Amino acid sequence: MKELLSIQLLWLLLSFHSTIGADVLRLVDGGSPCAGRVEVKHQDQWGMVCNDDETERQYHSVICKQLGCGSAVATSEALIFGEHSGLTWLTEVICHGNESALWDCKHGGWELKSCPYPAGVLCSGHIKSRLIGGESICSGRVEIEHGETWVTVCDADFSLKAASVICSELNCGVVVSILRGAHFKEGDGPIWNETLQCEGNESQLFYCPRVSHLNETCSHANDVSIVCSGATEELRLVDGGSPCAGKVEVKHQDRWGMVCDGVWEMEDAEVVWHTGFRLVNGSTECSGRVEIQVHE
């Protein structure tokens, strides 16, 4: 019995040691887990992968597959993923394309070296968001980058939880309002053909489950927009008798306009009520700069 316990304990220790020292792959500074500069963690230290063989591209496909990010759609020549410093773990990487991990490919050995051309890749599973047409990055028409293409989003297939994730992803606080009917002008190009089934607590849009759909009634007249709390100067309540009641107005291109109740939902009102507003530095309680208090 003691021998059996000793063997089991030995296997547990070996397994724990293997897990601690396990090699890890990641993409950084690309906006999602499926785009960025290639880095490998080896012996508990992160290092880059050198893009020193311009004739070999199979390792990009292995990277995307290993990360569960689909296939490679663009590689280092067209990509710049932020400033970088530090050393490179892997050089002279040559893959056949069927390897399950990057370090299973032929390479120059595990050795920290310098390399002026770090490898980068954009995978087909890459997805991130931006807001266009507002007065800051925290308000505007919702657009999603999928692979190399930016697409608009139909208001019929967009939820408050998805809006919350976008505000979080852009470091813009919490969602204040969802504005439907191309409030910040119509976009052009493709329209997003998936439904984002976010829980609302995801750190990035990439982590939201997605379900394919085909809504033939959607056009750019239905492009959805959002306002996040990072753009609070663009939202106010008027003619309600207090700073916390009244018609909802949004500022766009230095002009205030009302939000049509035909595209205003109770979930939008709940967000406005939950955050709380006040007017400061005005001559009365009903004038001044709009400020918002966010209750986490």
| pLDDT tens by residue, 208-263 | 988 887 666 889 999 999 999 885 445 677 877 766 667 767 665 566 666 544 44
Three-class SS of residue 65?
helix
pLDDT band at 130 (very low <50, low <70, confident <90, very high): very high
- Cα(59)–Cα(197) distance, integer angstroms: 32
The full set of domains in the chain, from first to last, is 20-123 (3.10.250.10), 127-292 (3.10.250.10)
Dihedral sign for Cα 208, 214, 217, 221, please. Answer: positive
130 alpha carbon, distance to own chain's centre: 9
The answer to whether the Cα torsion of 31, 34, 40, 41 is positive or negative is positive
The reported pLDDT for the residue numbered 263 is 44
Q: Rounded to two decimals, what is the model's pTM?
A: 0.64
Amino acid, single-letter form, for residue 14:
L
Mean pLDDT confidence for 127-138 = 89
- pLDDT at position 294 is 44
- Checking if the pLDDT of 290 tops 50, the result is yes
With cut-offs at 50, 70 and 90, classify the pLDDT of residue 57.
Answer: low
Residues 6+ apart with CB under 8 A from 114: 87, 88
Residue 131 has pLDDT above 90, yes or no: yes
The CA distance from 75 to 63, in Å, is: 11
